[in-house]
């Protein structure tokens, strides 16, 4: 108060400051309100931890006024295998089938199968793609890997030389949110499974970054089957908390030192 008497101008300045901070809050909300999120979700059981993590994300984004699309791969009976059936038109070379070359051509001609076209549209519209899955053999479950194999077609997700920082999906963000069987300690540098970042290299760098995505730090929910209910609730809360400010996050520096140093 003494300070305000000495500097009466400050009243006005404080009002300006208040107005500015309200403006920042409103503009932040405005900025995230129109955002579009795609959750690519791979779990067979809605009551699973992965199911709960997916639901938490849907809740938070809907509260933010974002639109959320979900590709629930098991419910969709999504086909994991990359085959000739993915091309509905004539093949360029039926004598020697090359999946990559044929799907690239089919993408250009608009003759990929309906299932792939639908998923590509969802990716195209999304600002952020979240991959929600249980870790299977240090990687994605087959159904999700199949989604990647079939949806991230050359010409759509990447081309040459449009890879990594020039990948065709470079305006988008990606996050891997996954659960593990192993504990955090097992996935440490000196643990039996080695640093979790070693296995993130093919998934985050080899796939997401290759296609141009800006990669946000992964959300790892360690060993939910082996912790108590309180710990699981905390994992869900920390995901919800993180998602509240997800649009302000900076991507990781997705280069070898992040993974291997």
Ligand X SMILES: Cc1cc2nc3c(=O)[nH]c(=O)nc-3n(C[C@H](O)[C@H](O)[C@H](O)COP(=O)(O)OP(=O)(O)OC[C@H]3O[C@@H](n4cnc5c(N)ncnc54)[C@H](O)[C@@H]3O)c2cc1C
**Residues at the site binding ligand X, with contacts judged by CB under 6 A:** 43, 45, 47-50, 52, 134-138, 179-182, 224-225, 229, 232-233, 236
Least distance between Zn ion and beta carbon 69 (Å): 25
Partner whose footprint covers residue 54, from Zn ion, ligand X, none (CB < 5 to 8 Å by kind): none
* Shorter beta-carbon distance to ligand X: residue 214 or 232: 232
Residue 169 · residue 176 · CB < 8 Å: no
Partner whose footprint covers residue 3, from Zn ion, ligand X, none (CB < 5 to 8 Å by kind): none
Q: Name the site residues for Zn ion (rule: CB under 5 A).
A: 205, 209, 254
Using alpha carbons, select from 222, 243, 244 the residue that is nearest to residue 231. 222
Least distance between Zn ion and beta carbon 175 (Å): 14
* Shorter beta-carbon distance to ligand X: residue 37 or 56: 56
Least distance between Zn ion and beta carbon 209 (Å): 3
* Shorter beta-carbon distance to ligand X: residue 58 or 91: 58
Least distance between ligand X and beta carbon 58 (Å): 13
Least distance between ligand X and beta carbon 136 (Å): 4
Partner whose footprint covers residue 148, from ligand X, Zn ion, none (CB < 5 to 8 Å by kind): none
**And the tokens for 41?**
């979700």
* Shorter beta-carbon distance to Zn ion: residue 116 or 208: 208
Partner whose footprint covers residue 254, from ligand X, Zn ion, none (CB < 5 to 8 Å by kind): Zn ion
Distance CA 144, CA 130 (A): 12
Sequence-distant (≥ 6) Cβ neighbours of residue 209 within 8 angstroms: 164, 167, 215, 254
Least distance between ligand X and beta carbon 230 (Å): 9
Half-sphere CA count of 145, side-chain side, radius 13 A: 13
Partner whose footprint covers residue 209, from Zn ion, ligand X, none (CB < 5 to 8 Å by kind): Zn ion
* Shorter beta-carbon distance to ligand X: residue 3 or 137: 137
* Shorter beta-carbon distance to ligand X: residue 158 or 222: 222
Partner whose footprint covers residue 205, from Zn ion, ligand X, none (CB < 5 to 8 Å by kind): Zn ion
**What region, left, alpha or beta, does residue 173 occupy, with left being phi > 0 and alpha being psi -120 to 50 degrees?**
beta
Contacts 24+ apart (CB under 8 A), 240-248: 240/56, 240/59, 240/60, 243/56, 243/57, 243/60, 243/61, 244/60, 244/64, 246/128, 246/175, 246/216, 247/28, 247/31, 247/32, 247/35, 248/28
* Shorter beta-carbon distance to ligand X: residue 72 or 159: 72
**And the tokens for 193?**
């499974």
Least distance between ligand X and beta carbon 126 (Å): 23
E strand segments, the chain: 36-41, 67-72, 128-134, 173-179, 214-215, 219-221
């Amino acid at each position: 108060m003494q300070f305000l008497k000495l500097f009466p101008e400050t009243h006005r300045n404080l009002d300006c400051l208040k107005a500015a901070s309200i403006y920042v809050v409103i503009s932040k909300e405005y900025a995230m309100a129109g955002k579009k999120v795609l959750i690519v979700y791979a779990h067979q059981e809605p009551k699973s931890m992965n199911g709960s993590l997916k639901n938490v994300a849907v809740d938070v984004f809907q509260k933010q006024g974002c639109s959320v699309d979900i590709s629930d791969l098991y419910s969709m009976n999504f086909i994991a295998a990359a085959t000739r059936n993915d091309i509905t038109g004539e093949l360029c070379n039926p004598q020697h089938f090359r999946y990559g070359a044929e799907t690239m051509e089919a993408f250009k001609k608009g003759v990929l199968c309906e299932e792939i076209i639908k998923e590509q549209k969802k990716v195209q519209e999304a600002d952020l793609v979240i991959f929600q899955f249980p870790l299977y053999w240090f990687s994605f479950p087959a159904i999700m890997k199949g989604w990647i194999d079939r949806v991230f077609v050359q010409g759509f997700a990447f081309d040459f030389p449009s890879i990594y920082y020039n990948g065709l999906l470079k305006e988008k963000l990606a996050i891997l949110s996954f659960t593990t069987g192993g504990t955090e300690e097992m996935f440490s540098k000196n643990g039996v499974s080695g640093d979790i970042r070693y296995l993130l290299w093919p998934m985050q760098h080899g796939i997401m970054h290759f296609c141009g995505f800006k990669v946000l730090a992964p959300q790892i929910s360690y060993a939910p089957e082996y912790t108590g209910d309180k710990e699981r609730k905390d994992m869900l809360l920390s995901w919800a908390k993180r998602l509240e400010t997800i649009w302000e996050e900076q991507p990781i520096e997705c280069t070898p030192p992040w993974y291997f140093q």
